[in-house]
Amino acid sequence: MYTPRENFLRTVNKDNPDRLVCDYTAFGIVRDDPVTDLDRGIRVKGKEIVDIYGTTIIWPENQPGGMPHVTEENKVIKDITRWREELKLPDYDSMDLDWTKNRASVAAVDKENKMLTSIMATGLFERLHFLMGFEDTLVNLLMEPEAMHDLLDALLEVRMTYVRLLIDNMHPEVIIHHDDWGNHDSLFMQADVWREFFKERYRKLYGYMRERGVIVIHHADCHCAAIVKDMAEIGVQIWQGAIPNNDICKVQKELNGDMIIMGGIDAGIDKPDWTEEEVRRETRRACDTYAPNGAFIPCLTYGGPGSIFPGVDTAIRDEIEKYNAEHYKL
């Protein structure tokens, strides 16, 4: 039986994996690099922070994570035509970054069994609405395209510096890059608008990652069915977070193995009154439905390992392993 690492690599390379990759078990995720700490901000439950871009981030005690709190009073960009005056972009190349803690975390990863993995949160679209709110972001894409193109070019250059420093110092084998482009039922914008503003910029970002030998995973736990072929074209090897509402079987047929689908397990099972029977049933449904089409990794649709409520993720992994034992010669 292959190690989780080797089985993952065989899945990515279409080289006869011996079972389904089980959730995030093939990933040795390290989150403590200094660029990520700066770009995302150190978030603490129950506290409010202001990140390096000037966005207010809140983490209420009863919520699973931090989120932007953008109001008319505190939004960073109030007039997109004046974004250069209103926004001070970080210059990570000019900063004295301490990689000591990160090097220790990297050294602790079991690289015989795990892929050294970094998570880059708050992609280009998310950064826009962190800076100006959802409504202004969507309106400005339509009403002020020139200014939005200029801003996105500047944000992309920060992102390119970020990923270069990450690869030069941490040497991740996998990067899970986050940018949610839609809601439960549709993209936040027309597909052609996404193509105009985001496709080529992501081709540049993901092309660079691929050139540096990094496996590219894009996280978007939303509806992206309308652009899946575009995603594969620009270098996404794995779309993580694919919610069932995407009609995943149809998407798999359309992709024909060009991009792996990772997700498929409805996050609605992760709730206060969860039951093991319900969790196992949904996990088995996902495996039974999507695994026969190939290029599938089952997991909850969140952008990282674990579950909100303790025990849900354990039951999911156990059920995937049971499925593997039943369907593969191990």
Q: How far apart are CA 217 and CA 219, in angstroms?
A: 6
Q: How far apart are CA 240 and CA 147, in angstroms?
A: 31
What percent of the chain has pLDDT above 90? 95
The residue-averaged pLDDT of 28-51 equals 94
Specify the pLDDT at position 62. 82
pLDDT in tens, 84-132: 999 999 999 999 999 999 999 999 999 999 999 999 999 999 999 999 9
pLDDT in tens, 160-172: 999 999 999 999 9
Q: What type of residue sits at position 170? A: M
Q: How far apart are CA 194 and CA 227, in angstroms?
A: 9
Q: How far apart are CA 238 and CA 252, in angstroms?
A: 12
Three-class secondary structure of residue 104 per DSSP? helix
Res. 157: pLDDT tops 80: yes
Q: How far apart are CA 187 and CA 48, in angstroms?
A: 30
Q: How far apart are CA 151 and CA 54, in angstroms?
A: 15
With bands split at pLDDT 50, 70 and 90, how would you rate the model's confidence at 228? very high
Least confident of 39-53, 142-156, 240-254: 39-53
Q: What are phi and psi of 174, to 5 degrees?
A: -135, 140
Q: What type of residue sits at position 289? A: T
Contact 237, 259 (CB under 8 A): yes
Q: How far apart are CA 258 and CA 228, in angstroms?
A: 10
With bands split at pLDDT 50, 70 and 90, how would you rate the model's confidence at 35? very high
- Residue 43: other Cβ atoms inside 10 A: 15
Pairing mode, strands 48-50 and 27-29 = unpaired
Specify the pLDDT at position 329. 81
DSSP state of 222: S
pTM of the model: 0.97
Q: Burial of 302 by CB count in 10 Å (0-12 exposed, 13-18 middle, 19+ buried)?
A: buried
- In the chain, how many H helices and how many E strands? 13, 10
